A = this chain, B = another copy of it.
Amino acid sequence: MSTLPAIIAVDWGTSSFRLWLMSNDGTVLAEHRSHEGITEVAERGFETVLEKHLSALQVPGTLPVVICGMAGSRQGWVEAGYIDTPADVTTISVNATVVPGVARRVIIIPGLAVRSLTEPDVMRGEETQLLGAHLELPGGERYCMPGTHSKWVSMNGAMVTGFETFMTGELFATISAGTMLVHSTGGEGQVDAQDPAFLTGVRDGWTRPEKTTHHLFSIRAGHLLHDRGIEENRARLSGLLIGAEFAGAGIRGGEQIGLVASGALQRLYHAALSECGVTVRDIDADVAVRRGLVESWQRFSNRSGDLKRT
């Protein structure tokens, strides 16, 4: 183990690109972030964008690159497939896809799939975050990974036994900006995790999820009849959707949940879970994904080593 540059770790999503130059003991030596998500990059070429960042950092051409996220989807760089649950989170990366036809060694981590006929589900990128979270907080049985598409993962040791995705973040964005609620909730603006309207929304969404689409309309009516303000309405909308997610995930008071999140989302979900009596163990999402990427590379290269030895 040393703090020399050893691995380039990349989380390449639909709308964002995050790259870390890491030593193999997990130290962050440099970081690059941009909005060059796969949608934008598809035309310019993935290798071009990646090498632009690497040459800015003067990274030697011998360093390997490990990528997670939507870069491994059908619309991404190279399709990296899915591993089916139940799956050992520590061995996902042994099935990583090596990007062909590039000078550098580049691997993309596969996603996870619940191949159920009635309630199929997929994740891509979160499996790597989850590996990091599992290493940060071993023994956790449930992890909540909030976001555009929030993931709730059940684990037994290192085994992912199942997971469910909720469209919470995307619904919040779409409903607040793309329906008549735009007049009552505004198109943008941060929600305060301690706003009573947020916490009441969480409770209402959690205890009466079947009323959610009614409660949404009621926000508009409260604006018309009681002159309720944009900020309060926006907080309630956020709370209602997060509360409905909790109902769907079946959280119970007294339960312990690993919350893999950072920034504003971490504050909102931490406050919301606490409001429902859940014991929250926070795991920083950035730390988790970096740790997951480094571990993934090590597992992958060890496997290659094993293969060579046989």
Contacts and interface: CB of A to CB of B under 8 A. Distances in A.
Interface of A: 74, 82, 113-115, 117, 119-122, 149, 164-168, 170-171, 174-175, 178-180, 209-218, 220-222, 224-226, 241, 244-245, 247-248, 250
Nearest to A121: B221
Given A120-B225, A174-B174, A175-B174, A213 B113 contact: no
A98 B249 CA distance: 52
Given A113-B225, A121-B217, 14 more contacts: A122-B224, A165-B221, A166-B214, A166-B217, A168-B213, A170-B179, A170-B180, A171-B175, A171-B213, A210-B247, A210-B250, A212-B212, A212-B248, A213-B244
A82 B225 CA distance: 9
Interface of A is mostly: helix
A87 to B, nearest CB: 15
A241 B167 CA distance: 14
Contacts of A119: 214-215, 218
A215 to B, nearest CB: 7
Contact of A217 (B167, B222, B241): B167
24 contacts: A113-B225, A115-B225, A117-B226, A120-B226, A121-B214, A121-B221, A122-B220, A166-B217, A167-B179, A167-B216, A167-B217, A168-B213, A170-B180, A171-B179, A171-B216, A174-B179, A178-B178, A209-B210, A210-B210, A210-B248, A211-B248, A212-B244, A213-B241, A213-B245
A243 to B, nearest CB: 10
Contacts of A216: 167, 171
Contacts of A178: 174, 178
A179 B120 CA distance: 18
Nearest to A175: B174
Contacts of A248: 210-214
B247 A165 contact: no
Contacts of A149: 217
